[in-house]
Structure 1
Amino acid sequence: MLFAVGQLVAGALLLLLGGEGVVRGASRLAILARLSPLFIGLTVVSLGTSAPEMAVSVATAMQGQADITIGNVVGSNLFNMLVIVGFSAIVATLPVDRQITSFDAPFMVATCIAMGVLGYDGQIDKVDGVGLLVALLVYFGISYKLGKRKAPESIEDFVDDVAGEPMPEASWGRTVGAASLQLLILALGVGGLILGCEWFVAGSVTFARFFGLSEAVIGLTIVSVGTSLPELVTSVAATLKGERGIAIGNAVGSTILNILAVLGVSAVVSPVGLNVLRSIEVFDIPVMIGAAIVTWIVLRTHQRVTRVEGVVMVLLYVGYVSYLLLDAA
């Protein structure tokens, strides 16, 4: 048990350091590529911070532990939508880009509904997984076009709050060198997030099994929270540094990627597909769809998320987890 405590502490420290690296590297890349921070948050950062969900879900899917796989995706999405957006808003009121409310948030709702439809028959098979991955490519293509359209007109117009200074004009060679450095920082940050997440989840699962929780509940709560900590750390760090496009984009983008990428890949690599537990099909997935709709409505309200709305969203998640734990007792 002492070893599990050590894993929790070390994992938390790595998550903090990794989140700092991801935000710093991603923000600099946004300048170099002349892309908006929102696009970077929706794609590059979301891919990086969703790596723990991918690693855990693929591993459990290949081992036939579909309850943890499905529970991890659903639980992580609820955490993304309610806790990450909510807690980031508590830290500082979040302005919301119109692209989020007009495209990304509705797409997020659609992907949650798609998961419910695909899992209605009790299984998400390889064909379903391929369909999800095709939808992922479509989403990335549209996001790239929108990101280019909303990019700053010049490097000088977009100040890098993370580094504390704007990116100076440079030759092509220096630009490539700078991009390589930021990619390295981003990669190290993602590596820290993945390792920290692995240690944190391992310690958490040890505690959960000690108290006799089922695999489905472990996936919906302990594992999903642990694998979502990179998104939380990254979004809060981005909020504190003024990169609020990254904060919102990371939460929404990670929710979309959890279904299209994580669930899609897991379904494809699973030997027999992913069986959806009946309780998750009739309760947890509908709750996820409802949370997606609520999040979209909150984001549309005056194009910002206030501290009061943030508190309500976090309390909704606390209520959901409390219900699961009481029901499992």
Structure 2
Amino acid sequence: MIIEFLLLLLGFILLTKGSDLFVDGASEFARYLHIPQLIIGLTIVAMGTSAPEAAVSIRSALENSADLSIGNIVGSNILNILIILGICSLIAFIPIEKSTTKKDIPFMIFSTALLMVFGYTDASLSWFEGFIFLIWFIVYLIYLYTHSKKEEEQKPSKSIFKILIFIILGLAFILLGSQFVVESATEIALYLGVDEKFIGLTIVSLGTSLPELFTSFMATRKGNAGIAIGNIVGSNIFNILFILGFTSLLTPIPFQSSFLIDTFICILTGIVLWIYAYKNNGLNKKSGILMLVCYGLYFLYLL
């Protein structure tokens, strides 16, 4: 069993390093193609920080470990808000722009509610529902692009050879890391006598959220706390609409009735975030403490 835990840790390390390399390489490559910085941030960087969730969820679904797939996404989204934003708001006040309060956070809440509705109606995510998720994600990107300010084009700082090395190594680490995480987490769940849902909602979701945690934590420490909220909200939207949407196109994803409670809790965490954003225009230390306490209560519920 010690080997399984070591493989799980190695998988998390590979996922984190792989996503970091992929983000750097893909962002530089996009600049070579003259893609606007906003689109790079909304797609490539969001995909990079959510690459661990994507790799684990897709592999889990294809290997008939659907509980790990759904649990990973829902658990990561809950953890992103309550733990990551909770910790960051203890370090510094996190400002939330009005556009994020009025548009992005409600969009995140609605997307989560849509997941709960789809899961409740037929106890699975079909290819058609996955298609709706992807269409909804494209609509969101178009909206953001059309309402964004034009930015000065940035030139790549790395050679094309180095960029391709970063992308290839990043993808290789992500794929290998996801294999280690899925296989070792499944073995650990069997050994401990707990279901894959619990492992997915806790251990795996924490491991796959490491890129979001590092990105938000470092942004807050460097005085760019506003980046933290954009990173989390964007990743949560990407997790549901793109990852689950794309995965359900490949194979139907069973949705256990017990996940309805977890998805509802995920909606509540979004509402809590929206209330603080609306009332205080950001997150302070009091809100951070409340979020961490809420996650503690949620973890006790899982136990």
Larger deviation, residues 241-250 vs 53-62: 241-250
CA-CA distance at 1:320 after TM superposition: 0.7
Q: Name the counterpart of 2:207.
A: 226
Correspondence for 1:314 among 279, 292, 295: 292
- Taking the TM superposition and a 5 Å limit, the aligned residue runs for 1:35-114 are 35=37, 41-114=41-114
Match of residue 277 from structure 1: 256
**Distance in structure 2 (CA, Å) of the matches to 1:86 and 1:26:** 29
Moved more, 312-321 or 124-133: 312-321
Gaps of 5+ in 1: 156-166, 168-174
User: Do 2:95 and 2:283's aligned partners in 1 also have CA atoms closer than 8 Å?
Assistant: yes
Quickly say closer, same or farther: Cα 1:24–1:63, change in 2 above 3 A: closer
Structure 1 residue identity aligned to 2:281: Q
CA distance in 1, matches of 2:280, 2:73: 30
Q: Distance in 2 between matches of 1:194 and 1:299?
A: 36
Q: Which residue does 1:141 correspond to in 2?
A: 142
Q: Aligned residue for 2:268?
A: 290
TM-score (norm 1): 0.77
Q: For residues 14-61 of structure 1, what are the alpha-carbon distances to aligned partners after superposition, in whole Å with 9 as ceiling and x for unaligned?
A: 56656765787799889x96646xx75543322111112111212222
**Partner deviation per Cα, 1:120-178 (whole Å, 9 max, x = no partner):** 2222211111111111111111122334x174xx68xxxxxxxxxxx8xxxxxxx3555
Would you say the 8 A contact 2:12–2:181 is kept in 1? Answer: yes
Aligned-partner residue type, residue 236 of structure 2: T
Structure 1 CA distance for aligned equivalents of residues 229 and 162 of structure 2: 21
User: Is the 1:299–1:305 Cα contact (8 Å) retained in structure 2?
Assistant: yes
Amino acid at match of 1:323: Y
The structure-2 alpha-carbon separation of the partners of 1:85 and 1:194, relative to structure 1 and needing over 3 Å to count, comes to farther
Name the CA distance, whole Å, in 2 between partners of 1:106 and 1:4: 40
Gapped regions of structure 2 (runs ≥ 5):
none
Indicate the larger mover: 20-29 or 232-241: 20-29
Instruction: Please identify, of 124-133 and 84-93, the stretch whose mean Cα deviation from structure 2 is larger.
Output: 84-93
Is 73-82 or 189-198 further displaced after alignment? 189-198
* Aligned CA-pair RMSD: 3.2
Trace 1:1-329 onto structure 2 (pairs within 5 A).
1-11=1-11, 13-14=13-14, 17=17, 35=37, 41-121=41-121, 122-147=123-148, 149=149, 151=151, 175-176=155-156, 178=158, 187=167, 199=180, 203-270=184-251, 273-281=252-260, 283-325=261-303
Q: How many angstroms apart in 2 are the aligned matches of 1:88 and 1:189?
A: 27
Which residue identity does 2:147 align to in structure 1? L
Preserved contact between residue 42 and residue 250 of structure 1 (Cα < 8 Å): no
TM-score (norm 2): 0.83
Q: Distance in 2 between matches of 1:177 and 1:224?
A: 33
The aligned amino acid for 1:137 is I
Q: Secondary structure at the match of 1:107?
A: helix
State the alpha-carbon separation in 1 of the partners of residues 278 and 162 from structure 2.
33
Distance 1:207 1:92, change over 3 A: farther
Q: Distance in 2 between matches of 1:146 and 1:224?
A: 32
Q: Judging changes above 3 Å, is the alpha-carbon distance between structure 1 residues 75 and 15 closer, same or farther for their aligned structure 2 residues?
A: same
1:20/1:119 Cα in 2 relative to 1: closer, same or farther (>3 Å)? Answer: closer
Q: How many residues align?
A: 298
1:86/1:310 contact within 8 Å kept = yes
SS in structure 2 opposite 1:120?
helix
For 2:146 and 2:160, the matched residues in 1 are separated by 23
**Change in CA separation of 1:41 and 1:291 when aligned onto 2, cut-off 3 Å:** farther
Percent of pairs identical after alignment? Answer: 38
Q: What is the CA–CA distance in structure 2 between the aligned matches of 1:14 and 1:92, rounded to whole Å?
A: 30
Q: Is the CA contact 1:197–1:226 (under 8 Å) kept in the aligned structure 2?
A: no
